[in-house]
Amino acid sequence: MVIKKISLLLSVLLFAIILLFQFSCSDDEIPIPPNNGNNDKEGKVAVWRSDKSGLLKIAKEPELLPYETATDFDVSISINEATEYQVMEGFGAALTGSSAYVIQTHLEEAAQNQLLQDLFDAENGIGISFIRLTIGASDFSLSDFTYNDLSVSQSDIPQDNFDLSMEDQYLTPLLQKIIAINPDIKIMATPWSAPAWMKENESLKNGGNLKSNLQESYAIYLLKYIQAMAVKNIPIHSITIQNEPLYAAPYISMEMSAEEQKIFIRDYLGPQFAANNITTKVIIYDHNWDDVNYPLDILSDATAKDYIEGTAFHCYAGDVSAMSQVHDAHPDAGIYFTECSGGDFAPDYASNLSWNTENLIVGATRNWSKTVLFWNLALDENSGPKNGGCDNCRGVVTINSSTKAITKNEEYVLLGHISKFVKSGAKRIETPNTRGQDISQVVFINPDGAIVVVAFNHKSEPQKVQFQYQENAFNYEIESGMLVTFLFEV
């Protein structure tokens, strides 16, 4: 009888220990199972998904996926970390003058701080890691200006009157808040025009070229911009030389041929940066996919190329594959994707999710881009404030000037599926191109070894997809029009 009681007591004690162990482990502490063929073991594949209706946005699945090999699937994707491609620098959008104004003036401090956390904090938000600024005004600013505006009868060759103080009302305080949230954020800056007195048409608008005798002065202007931002503890990671240099826009703009840009970098800007120990990267072109000859002409000059980090592209004409053409000709020069905007011209949410995944989130990165950037970070309910450019563009978020309501648009969702998970320094790794099977996908390995898979189902029906990595496999049925991110370690 005593022996039976002792045996029963030991059994109860053992059961209690097992229960205590199970309830003391969170999902994040679940160990990765060995690949021993036991498909009942739970894996550590976390899943986030967004659907084409817009009702489901970067929603995390409550359960982790198990590692298991299936025999019934529609698409099989093998992940090969032994073949690495470009190193990623970041994902984000442009903090234009209009974006800074809307965020600073339309929101009370608490709401503003929460929005910045949602945008730039990777733990609790989408972790934007790269932003683009305009050097002076753009078509999304409150007015036309540069940092050294004089009458066209005046000049200031040494740029003694350079003054960044007009940005202290909205832009630079917001940047400082962003850097406090994400100290590692990378910042790119782009001019829309040199000061009017430096241009042949003596106007900030309608294109016009830089006067050839003022190239040294303009190099000093850009140098002083970088130095002035550094004084405010805002490091400029990179600059592009001119926004859309082949477009003489009716708003603030400047034209610059490939030959002019090459000479400017080779003979003026590059030497200025070198003489002043400026480490800011120089990126060329910054225009559409439809002209690869422009960057190729510049990169063919070996002296100019020594000062150049890479080539930037926009989405408004041509095909994303153009970026691979430039990379293949100059594999030692980086590729950057720096602008694309949604808007009322493309109102269908499902189509926007599909097109942007295929061409930007997956398309740009599979064509060697180190970045994916949308246009305005934030605009109001009237697609503004506008300064002569796009009349119906959409920001990553919309902030209603009256109700103060914040709408997180499809661009927010698209960015979130990659910026939250793919860290700066991650490398794209090899997978087969499965677009012919109606699955767009791209895979990265983070510096800490975590694997990130971003996939989209273009088919009108669900597809069962199996992903194979090393000795492990996992399966997921991707609904039609669904964007999915998988995160796992092995």
Ordered DSSP codes for 117-154 = HHHH-TTTS----EEEEEES--SSSSS---SS---TT-
Q: Which residue has the tokens 């826009």?
A: 249
Q: Has residue 21 got a pLDDT over 60?
A: no
Helix orientation angle between 171-181 and 97-106, rounded to the nearest 10 degrees: 80
To the nearest 10°, report the CA torsion of 268, 271, 274, 275.
-100
Render the burial of 192-201: b for 16+ CB within 10 Å, e for the rest.
Answer: bbbbbbbbee
Sequence-distant (6+) residues with CB within 8 A of 396 are 93, 119, 374, 376, 377, 378, 408, 409, 411, 412, 415
Coil, helix or strand for 376? strand
Domains, the chain, ordered by start: 32-85+430-488 (2.60.40.1180), 89-421 (3.20.20.80)
Tell me if the bond preceding 235 is cis, omega within 30° of 0: no
Are the CB atoms for 222 and 170 separated by under 8 Å? Answer: no
- Write the burial class of residue 432 (CB in 10 Å: 0-12 exposed, 13-18 middle, 19+ buried): middle
Q: Which residues pair with 337 in a beta bridge?
A: 313, 372
What is residue 18's predicted lDDT score, i.e. its pLDDT? 33
pLDDT at 3: 40
pLDDT for position 15: 37
Q: Are 259 and 266 in contact (CB under 8 A)?
A: no
Which residues share a beta bridge with 468?
A: 78, 473
Distance (Å, whole) CA 119 – CA 134 = 19
Confidence of residue 490 (pLDDT cuts 50, 70, 90): confident
Q: How confident is the model at residue 42 (pLDDT cuts 50, 70, 90)?
A: low
Question: CA–CA distance from 170 to each of 96, 115, 160, 195 (Å)?
Answer: 10, 16, 24, 21
Distance separating alpha carbons of residues 224 and 230, to the nearest angstrom: 10
Q: What is the pLDDT of residue 43?
A: 62
Residues 333, 299 contacting (CB under 8 angstroms): yes
Residue 367 · residue 321 · CB < 8 Å? yes
Q: What pTM did the predictor assign?
A: 0.91
- pLDDT of residue 45 exceeding 60: yes
pLDDT of residue 441: 98
Whether the predicted pLDDT of 439 surpasses 70 = yes
Alpha-carbon distance values, 244 to 191, 339, 392 (Å): 10, 10, 19
User: Which pLDDT does position 8 carry in this prediction?
Assistant: 41
Q: Inform me whether the pLDDT recorded for 118 exceeds 70.
A: yes
The mean per-residue pLDDT over the stretch 221-233 comes to 98
Residue 482 has pLDDT above 80, yes or no: yes
In tens, the pLDDT along 139-157 reads: 999 999 999 999 999 999 9
Averaged over 189-205, what is the pLDDT?
98
